[in-house]
Amino acid sequence: MHKISLLIRSAFVLVMILAGGSGVAQEERLSVDWLFSDEGKMSLAMPRHTWLESGQLVLYDMRKPEAERGLMSVDLRTGRRKALTNRKRALAAMNEVFQADEPLEEPGWPAAFSANGKWALYEREDDVYLLNLDRAEIVIVAATPAEEGAARFSPDSEWLAFVRDNDIYIFNIEDGSEKRLTHDGSETLLNGNVSWVYWEELLHRSNRGYLWAPDSSAIAFLQSDESMVGIMKYVDFKPGLPDVKRQRHPKAGAANPRVRAGVVGIKNAKTTWADLGTYPHEYLANMQWLPDSQRLAVQTLNRSQTVLDVFLVDAGSGEATHLLRERDDAWVDVHDDLWFLADGERFLWRSERDGHAHLYLFDMQGELIRQVTSGEWALKESGGSAHTDRAVAYVSNNIVWFTALEKDSTERHLYRINLDGSDRQRLTQADGTHAVYFHPAGDAYLDHYSALSTPPAMTLHRADGEKMRTLVEADASVKDRFELQPWELFSVKARDGFEMPAMLLKPRYFDPEKQYPAVVYVYAGPSAPTVQNAWQRRARGMFHQMLADEGVVVFQVDNRSAAGKSKRDAKTILRQLYGPVELQDLLDGVAWLKSQPWIDGDRVGVWGWSGGGTMTLSAMTGSEEFAAGIAVAAVTDWHYYDTIYTERYMKRPQDNEAGYESTSLVKKADQLSGNLFLVHGTYDDNVHPQNAWAFSDALIDAGILFDMMIYPMRKHGISDDEAQAHLYRSMQAFWARELDLEN
């Protein structure tokens, strides 16, 4: 009896210790502090990875502490890993050459690797360096007072090209010599660099201003004349007389940069310009080499983006022949799925001509051979090719591998099909979202996979889908440690019956007999869904878990133009972007939410970032459904946004005056319903701060009170840890107050 009593007493003391004296064990909960701590960032990271041209797989594990991170080569047969270079020596060399303010604790992920696997490229503070992987030594490529970057290895690994003060140079890796290829670069004439609007809206936030020929004999490049483009100014808060940052940025309806394509030879440094003849165009939207290194495919767009032309340009003469024309009465989406086949007689092209994104096979005269894929579903890029919109993962032996939304618009899967359209197969079986990275030889691929209930994992597969091994296990430790709540995935009908994808996160210990406040997260941009069967691991996803911990229902619904199901759905917003179509669908989703007996309809909030901030303001000025809202980096009038994105959907202001007037949120500010928290960074070069200033000025004129948080000299992502942590704490406090979370 005495021993039993002692055991009971000891167990009670242990419980009291665990519970902090309350008698109940305390559950660990997510916090903003943890999320932005080193542990939090590592727990939510996945290894960086790439295939080398040799077929070697390289990993850089961001989940390890900085002092243990290094470049690792993976043996595909055994899965064993070994260091690609001597980490200690490489780090010592970097610290000696870079002379950073604080010593580096990790080498970091390179910008690129040479095709022969001997070199890694690093760019730091407008300078360019190479790491010799065998010797763990640093070679200085370009470290002058000038701006240098955008470096790329030649396919034969003999040269490294880079841009210095808007001219293209090449560096001989063997002897260290340098050669200048262009000579007329200036502040407004860019050779090899691209203007901001091309970087953002056509090239997927990549400085793809030049391309090596496959045989390394020449470089194709864009030359951009920005002299006629207007200048945006951003005022710093330091030094005593603050610096002013300037950037060329074309506003809707204003002048664009003039861009042309040239080919410069490596030996003679002579440039030949592409002659596109009398075909009118506004944008040089894309270019790529053909496998023969003799021809270049150049894509152009007209100003309204309703006509896209593809030309074949002779690299030696500049003479162009017209290959293909794509038309759409609304807009043509630019993508990277133009694939010239090894036989030299055919090419693949992705088109939305039947209302869905599908593949078409043509001969080299531009005549259609056949439609390869078809159905009431769309091909969709998977993230497997960085800074591209590429749904085709690989083409070989009359078979094409591609990613698509065929199974469900909320999932992305890998398929293969014969080029004659036969024998289509889905290769990824697990429900969820798959990003696919093919081995250079096409005989294997990496599958970066996750689902709402499954943290990310990385597996290696043969080209037929057979799994070879797991390289990175799904790490459920964060999910288990914080008891993350499960998302529910379903659909909600709009008033006309359209099935809108939706997802819902309920509070812990949910009681259907109670009523809960709700927060609706929105983005709503064209073909840009937020409802996906994928792990919600970014800061936003964890923030929503924190809200659920505080007793909030989190709801997301994709309006028809955002869902990505078809081009027909996307086109419903033509000439009225973030206007009545998106708002009507959102309000139909919110009506469903409020109809649930466990929702307190008087305590529903809405928030979003960028386009989501725009949608938040649209919802709060166009309805009385929301008690409060948070708009981060919101566009408030399309006159303030850039030419390419705005005019794709809205056309020019001079051609659609009524559309710009009806979608201006500044003009609707006096109709604001609910309490608003407006957030912006003063160095936002995407959605300029004038959007926040204009909307807040209109609120002031209307006598409407609101909260505002300005982040000095932060850009669109407000991305440094300190600012992000501050923002999420601020939003947490706002929701606690406005939704009365104490009750």
Active site residues: 610, 684, 716
Cis peptide before 103 (omega within 30 of 0): no
Question: Measured between alpha carbons, how far is 511 from 173 in angstroms, rounded to an integer?
Answer: 66
Which letter does DSSP use for residue 650 in this model? H
Q: Are the C-beta atoms of residues 158 and 176 closer than 8 Å to each other?
A: no
Quick one: CA dihedral 349, 354, 358, 359, positive or negative? negative
> Which residues are 347's β-sheet partners?
340, 362
Q: Specify the 3-state DSSP secondary structure of 388.
A: coil
Q: In what order do the strands lie in the sheet with 368-371?
A: 338-340, 346-351, 358-363, 368-371
Question: Measured between alpha carbons, how far is 283 from 709 in angstroms, rounded to an integer?
Answer: 37
Cis peptide before 239 (omega within 30 of 0): yes
How many other CB atoms are there within 10 angstroms of residue 397's CB atom? 9
How many other CB atoms are there within 10 angstroms of residue 292's CB atom? 12
C-alpha torsion angle, residues 348, 354, 357, 358 (rounded to 10): -40
Question: Measured between alpha carbons, how far is 624 from 618 in angstroms, rounded to an integer?
Answer: 11
Give Cα separations from 518 to 523, 547, 590 (angstroms). Answer: 17, 9, 10
Give Cα separations from 327 to 154, 195, 330, 376, 571 (angstroms). Answer: 35, 26, 9, 20, 14
User: What is the rounded radius of gyration, in angstroms, for the C-alpha atoms of the chain?
Assistant: 27
CA nearest neighbour of 643 among 189, 200, 186: 200
Which letter does DSSP use for residue 608 in this model? E
* Beta strand pairing call for 159-164 and 81-83: unpaired
Question: Measured between alpha carbons, how far is 528 from 536 in angstroms, rounded to an integer?
Answer: 16
How long, in residues, is the chain? 743
The helix, strand and coil proportions of the chain, stated in percent and rounded to the nearest 5, come to 20, 35, 45
Angle at 635 between CA 630 and CA 641, to 5 degrees: 165
Q: Are the C-beta atoms of residues 221 and 269 closer than 8 Å to each other?
A: no
For 235-304, give the secondary structure using H, E and C. ECCCCCCCCEEEEECCECCCCCCEEEEEEEECCCCCEEECECCCCCCCEEEEEEECCCCCEEEEEEECCC
> What does the block give as tokens for 250?
């074309």
C-alpha torsion angle, residues 195, 682, 100, 63 (rounded to 10): -90
> What does the block give as tokens for 693?
């200033």
> Which residues are 487's β-sheet partners?
505
> What does the block give as tokens for 741?
């979370």
What is the biggest distance separating any 2 CA atoms in the chain, rounded to whole angstroms? 101
Question: Measured between alpha carbons, how far is 393 from 337 in angstroms, rounded to an integer?
Answer: 9
Question: Measured between alpha carbons, how far is 158 from 362 in angstroms, rounded to an integer?
Answer: 35
Strands (E), 463-495: 467-472, 487-493
